[in-house]
């Protein structure tokens, strides 16, 4: 059985206490590999090696750094099939989804490698008697912590800008989906990344993650994960005055107006509800439909979701894969029960699926629920699975009130052919990202992040490059 080890100072290493955890294949519900159960001593060792690598890495000419990071991108592309199969097996996501995500992981490296070559400082001229210039310097050794839903995609989204700006990194992927981060270690070596520049420590969040957050040698933390974990991290990191970027949970609304292009709205809303089993922070989990379109939309939506084949991740016909873990599977099922208690009407799905030969895997049908008040727990709390609610509305004011009623504010989709209405709702919706007549269309230069309890800070483009650098103003009297 494969042992997923830490990658520290350019070498795969056993955790110092030589303890391992079970790693599951969700499609089968079986242990298929072991993962390093590291602790604060492994983190401390990784930080020391990262510190030793820093003096050379931070002054490496931009072009050399570009070449190494760009080579990592090429190697991810060259290993696309191997990485996509590994991701599907480890996470439960269908192969077609994993392929797209591995492609994006390569894009993340390529994008930030290129950004390293273009990142310039500003100059502020004071009418002939002084000039200021801004030095942007790496922070030092930084920590990156990522979740299980889009494993390599989100891992690389953090480490690529951190490395591109000249920092050394100690990174912790989710203990639930460690495989592709493990495989990335050898690709980084092959790309010529100097030892100690990127260190990957595996293990449990409350052990490895919190050791990383509280280590005085780590100067900034970029975290993506749940809101409760984010609060915990902020409570430790803030008194230590660490720079923090927090990308947290969501409860995203899809707002469908009667004047939308119905077929496109249905097609994309099916994707935004159930892609990756609904385990994407950007998935829409509350569908609001203008009353005159409500029945038509619902009928077409149900027709479409009944066609989605639920099955093992590696089956090429699978559209909805396995839920990532038994614990998460049970959490989602408990929300389906809660929805029934709260008066919800199950219009589609709601059942466990047991595909032939994979009866012990964790599968749930795409589920649509109506008749729930917008204030109930099912409509307020993040479920993070293939479960969505549908609610009619009559006016713009009413839908804004319902859409903005949660503690979250990550993303929103608006469907209408009326431009003025689209822009008005986009301006008034409380969220960091708004898609009009689309979903998950991403330009990596744009700000990415949430408001309210969906996060603090923005990633993407110069936002990420600025996060991972300190700006120093130098003022010269002429
Ligand atoms: P999680 O918070 O349980 O874990 C995320 C990471 O944090 C894991 O690596 C975990 O080991 C680590 N961790 C756990 N406890 C920790 C602690 N005390 N200190 C430091 N690190 C700790 O989240 P998850 O269940 O892996 O992911 C699902 C959540 O992530 C959902 O809420 C989802 O919305 C959110 N998410 C947000 C975005 C975004 O961009 N806003 C993207 C993807 C996922």
Angle, helices 95-118 vs 80-91, to 10°: value is 120
CA-derived radius of gyration, the chain: 23
Contact 467, 457 (CB under 8 A): yes
State how far the Cα of 393 lies from the Cα of 364, in Å rounded to an integer: 29
Closest-CA residue, ligand 1 atom 34, reads 249
Measured in Å, residue 410 CA sits from the centre of ligand 1 at 15
State if residue 149 touches ligand 1 by the CB under 6 angstroms criterion: yes
Residue 235 to residues 81, 228, 241, Cα–Cα distance (Å): 40, 11, 11
Instruction: Report pLDDT digits (tens) over 298-311.
Output: 999 999 999 999 99
In the Cβ-directed half-sphere of 119, how many Cα atoms lie within 13 Å? 32
Q: Which of 229, 384, 449, 450 has most ligand 1 atoms within 8 Å of its beta carbon, as the pocket-test mutant? A: 229
Look at residue 290 in the predicted model and tell me its pLDDT.
Answer: 98
State if residue 172 touches ligand 1 by the CB under 6 angstroms criterion: yes
Look at residue 128 in the predicted model and tell me its pLDDT.
Answer: 86
State if residue 250 touches ligand 1 by the CB under 6 angstroms criterion: yes
| 3-state secondary structure at position 405 | coil
Measured in Å, residue 240 CA sits from the centre of ligand 1 at 21
| 3-state secondary structure at position 432 | coil
Q: Which of 39, 104, 147 has most ligand 1 atoms within 8 Å of its beta carbon, as the pocket-test mutant? A: 147
Q: Which residues in the chain show pLDDT less than 50? A: none
Residue 81 CB contacts under 8 Å (≥ 6 apart), including other chains: none
Residue 151 to residues 105, 229, 365, Cα–Cα distance (Å): 9, 17, 23
- Per the DSSP assignment, residues forming a β-bridge with 3 are 34
Contact 246, 352 (CB under 8 A): no
| 439: nearest Cα among 323, 278, 305, 271 | 271
In eight-state DSSP terms, residue 245 is E
| 3-state secondary structure at position 331 | helix
Question: Which residues are tagged catalytic?
Answer: 247, 281
Measured in Å, residue 138 CA sits from the centre of ligand 1 at 25
Measured in Å, residue 300 CA sits from the centre of ligand 1 at 34
Entry pTM: 0.98
Closest-CA residue, ligand 1 atom 36, reads 225
**Range list of H helices, 17-94:** 40-58, 62-78, 80-91
Nearest 5 degrees, angle CA 37-CA 38-CA 44? 175
- Give the Cβ contact number of residue 295 at 10 Å: 11
- Per the DSSP assignment, residues forming a β-bridge with 448 are 459
The alpha carbon dihedral of 256, 260, 263, 269 has a sign of negative
Contact 405, 380 (CB under 8 A): yes
Closest-CA residue, ligand 1 atom 42, reads 281
Burial 352-389 (b: 16+ CB within 10 A, else e): ebebeebeebbbbbbbbbbebebebebbebbbbbbbbb
Contact 256, 297 (CB under 8 A): yes
State how far the Cα of 176 lies from the Cα of 180, in Å rounded to an integer: 11
State how far the Cα of 44 lies from the Cα of 157, in Å rounded to an integer: 24
Cα 249–chain centre separation: 10
Residue 252 CB contacts under 8 Å (≥ 6 apart), including other chains: 282, 283, 284, 285, 286, 408, 410, 411, 412, 413, 431
Look at residue 360 in the predicted model and tell me its pLDDT.
Answer: 98
Ligand 1 atom with minimal separation from the 459 CA: 40
Contact 171, 193 (CB under 8 A): no
Measured in Å, residue 248 CA sits from the centre of ligand 1 at 7
Look at residue 226 in the predicted model and tell me its pLDDT.
Answer: 98
In eight-state DSSP terms, residue 140 is S
State how far the Cα of 386 lies from the Cα of 450, in Å rounded to an integer: 22
| 403: nearest Cα among 253, 191, 216 | 253
State how far the Cα of 88 lies from the Cα of 324, in Å rounded to an integer: 10
State if residue 409 touches ligand 1 by the CB under 6 angstroms criterion: no
State if residue 39 touches ligand 1 by the CB under 6 angstroms criterion: no
Cα 333–chain centre separation: 23
Look at residue 307 in the predicted model and tell me its pLDDT.
Answer: 97
Closest-CA residue, ligand 1 atom 33, reads 249
The size of the chain, in residues, is 478
């Amino acid at each position: 059985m494969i042992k997923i080890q830490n990658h520290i100072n350019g070498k795969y290493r056993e955790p110092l206490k030589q303890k391992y955890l079970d790693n599951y294949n969700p499609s089968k519900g079986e242990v298929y590999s072991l993962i390093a159960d590291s602790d604060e001593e492994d983190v401390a060792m990784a930080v020391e090696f990262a510190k030793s690598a820093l003096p050379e890495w931070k002054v490496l000419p931009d072009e050399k750094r570009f070449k190494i990071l760009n080579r990592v991108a090429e190697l991810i592309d060259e290993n696309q099939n191997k990485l996509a199969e590994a991701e599907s097996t480890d996470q439960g996501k269908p192969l077609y989804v994993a392929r797209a995500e591995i492609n994006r992981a390569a894009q993340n490296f390529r994008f930030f490698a290129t950004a390293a070559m273009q990142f310039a400082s500003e100059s502020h001229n004071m009418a002939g008697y002084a000039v200021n210039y801004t030095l942007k310097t790496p922070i030092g050794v930084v920590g990156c912590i990522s979740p299980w839903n889009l494993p390599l995609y989100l891992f690389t989204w953090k480490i690529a800008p951190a490395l591109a700006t000249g920092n050394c990194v100690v990174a912790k992927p989710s203990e639930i989906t460690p495989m592709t981060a493990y495989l990335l270690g050898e690709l980084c070596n092959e790309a010529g990344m100097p030892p100690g520049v990127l260190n990957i420590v595996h293990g449990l969040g409350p052990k490895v993650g919190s050791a990383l957050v509280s280590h005085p040698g780590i100067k900034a933390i970029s975290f993506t994960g749940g809101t409760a974990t984010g609060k915990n991290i902020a409570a430790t990191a803030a008194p230590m005055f660490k720079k923090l970027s927090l990308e947290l949970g969501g409860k995203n609304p899809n707002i469908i107006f009667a004047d939308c292009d119905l077929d496109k709205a249905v097609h994309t809303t099916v994707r935004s509800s159930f892609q990756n089993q609904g385990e994407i922070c950007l998935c829409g989990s509350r569908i609001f439909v203008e009353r005159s379109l409500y029945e038509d939309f619902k009928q077409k939506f149900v027709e479409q979701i009944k066609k989605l084949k639920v099955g093992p991740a590696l089956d090429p016909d699978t559209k909805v894969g396995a839920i990532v873990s038994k614990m998460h599977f049970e959490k989602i099922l408990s929300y389906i029960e809660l929805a029934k208690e709260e008066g919800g009407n199950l219009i589609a799905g709601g059942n466990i699926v047991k595909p032939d030969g994979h009866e012990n895997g964790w599968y749930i049908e795409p589920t649509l629920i109506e008749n729930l008040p917008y204030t109930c727990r099912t409509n307020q709390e993040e479920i993070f699975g293939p479960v969505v609610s549908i609610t009619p509305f009559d006016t713009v004011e009413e839908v804004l009130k319902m859409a903005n009623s949660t503690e979250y504010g990550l993303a929103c989709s608006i469907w209408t052919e009326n431009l003025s209405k689209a822009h008005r709702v986009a301006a008034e919706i409380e969220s960091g990202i708004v898609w009009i007549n689309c979903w998950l269309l991403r330009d990596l230069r744009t700000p990415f992040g949430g408001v309210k309890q969906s996060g603090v800070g923005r990633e993407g483009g110069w936002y990420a490059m600025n996060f991972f650098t300190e700006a120093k103003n130098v003022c010269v009297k002429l």
